[in-house]
Amino acid sequence: MSLLGTEEFELDFPNEYIISVEGVYDKVYGIAAEVVMMLRFKTNKRTSPPFGLDSGEVFVLEEKDHKIVGFHGKAGEFVHQVGVYISPISKS
């Protein structure tokens, strides 16, 4: 059972792609490791609403002139780490 429910952010593929992910991590009482509290996705067209609670230390995953093509990380009951795979944005 999820405390926050399930949310979706649908892309207009192939015209829209993710260029960065902003997130927040923090300590949660009773959990030894820090957890990802919130993720927000920025595309070449718009920015998603925040998914989760926007409270804690901010991090941003992005590289200039690249798009995000995949994700990896560590999770159990909570998400503990998140990373991205990137690819150059083709100039067509």
Per CATH, the homologous superfamily of domain 18-88 is Jacalin-like lectin domain (2.100.10.30)
**Percentage with pLDDT > 70 across the chain:** 93
* DSSP character string of 6-60: -------TTT--EEEEEEEEE--TT-SS-EEEEEEEEESS-BPPPEE---SEEEE
Confidence of residue 92 (pLDDT cuts 50, 70, 90): low
- Could you tell me the residue ranges of all domains in the chain? 18-88
Confidence of residue 33 (pLDDT cuts 50, 70, 90): confident
Q: Is the dihedral of CA 73, 16, 45, 62 positive or negative?
A: positive
